[in-house]
């Protein structure tokens, strides 16, 4: 991929970022979804699997899951993973019988160099409230804090709060939560904590991660 192609995609991200809605765009939450994409590379091509799960928000019990596999044509370029992963996400999402009221994605939203990570892209394309919930920090910085469940520290990028480092289990390193679309940061953190019942990750994305890895043979 040429530098010109990357420049054009970066500009597309900046333009689409202006369409992101930074307010709660839903009423009562009944169903919460989780999404993860697993990839396997070979010498000639890359193959991926995307899983989207649906959980009851009341009981945090699994209701449904859809998984698709396919070739991944877009190359790996940091900061542009949405273009690489979203086609599989969209196919998996289309197979669901129950549409979630909000979708948590294993990736970033506003906590992105151009304020437009996978969670923002998916939210706009699927027209659904989305949350980015990543295991590592892509950009920005945060102040260290006591690792007790519920504690958090703002992720600052150019002096702007773009997310929170959130502790979901005592003594366990934080997750990095940022809004994607049609949701506030405060609500996003509340939902992630509500869904992180026993483990570091929220149950919807934890199950999606396990199933997508299984589908790709990892």
The one-character DSSP state at 189 is H
Q: What percent of the chain has pLDDT over 70?
A: 97
Q: What is the pLDDT of residues 196-213, one digit of tens each?
A: 999 999 999 999 999 999
Q: Which of 122, 134, 140 is nearest to 180 (CA)?
A: 122
pLDDT attached to residue 4? 65
Domain ranges across the chain? 3-216
Q: Quick one: pLDDT band at residue 108, thresholds 50, 70, 90?
A: very high
pLDDT attached to residue 46? 86
Q: Which is it for strands 152-157 and 62-72: parallel, antiparallel or unpaired?
A: unpaired
Q: In the predicted model, is pLDDT for residue 45 greater than 70?
A: no
Q: In the predicted model, is pLDDT for residue 44 greater than 60?
A: no
Which H or E run includes 15? helix 3-17
Q: What is the pLDDT of residues 151-188, one digit of tens each?
A: 999 999 999 999 999 999 999 999 999 999 999 999 99
Q: What is the 3-state secondary structure (H, E, C) of 63-129?
A: EEEEEEEEEECCCCCCCCHHHHHHHHHHHHHHCCCCCCCEEEECCCCCCCCCCCCHHHHHHHHHCCC
Mean pLDDT of 31-49: 86
Q: What is the CATH number of domain 3-216?
A: 3.30.2170.10
């Amino acid at each position: 991929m040429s530098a010109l192609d990357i420049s054009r995609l970066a500009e597309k991200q900046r333009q689409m970022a202006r369409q992101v809605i930074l307010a709660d765009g839903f009423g009562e939450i009944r169903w919460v979804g989780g999404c993860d994409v697993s990839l396997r590379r070979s010498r000639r091509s890359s193959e991926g699997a995307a899983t989207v799960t649906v959980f009851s928000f009341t009981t945090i019990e699994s209701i449904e899951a859809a998984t698709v596999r396919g070739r991944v044509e877009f190359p790996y370029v940091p900061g542009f993973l949405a273009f690489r992963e979203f086609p599989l996400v969209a196919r998996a999402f289309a197979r669901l019988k129950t549409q979630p009221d909000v979708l948590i994605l294993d990736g970033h939203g506003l906590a992105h160099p151009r304020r437009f990570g996978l969670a923002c892209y998916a939210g706009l394309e699927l027209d659904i409230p989305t949350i980015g919930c990543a295991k590592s920090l892509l950009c920005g910085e945060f102040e260290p804090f006591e690792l007790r469940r519920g504690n958090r520290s703002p992720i600052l990028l150019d002096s702007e709060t773009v997310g929170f480092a959130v502790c979901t289990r005592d003594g366990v390193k934080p997750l990095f939560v940022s809004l994607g679309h049609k949701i506030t940061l405060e609500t996003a953190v509340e939902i992630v904590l509500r869904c992180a019942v026993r483990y570091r990750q929220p149950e919807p994305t934890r199950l999606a991660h396990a199933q997508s890895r299984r589908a790709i043979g990892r």
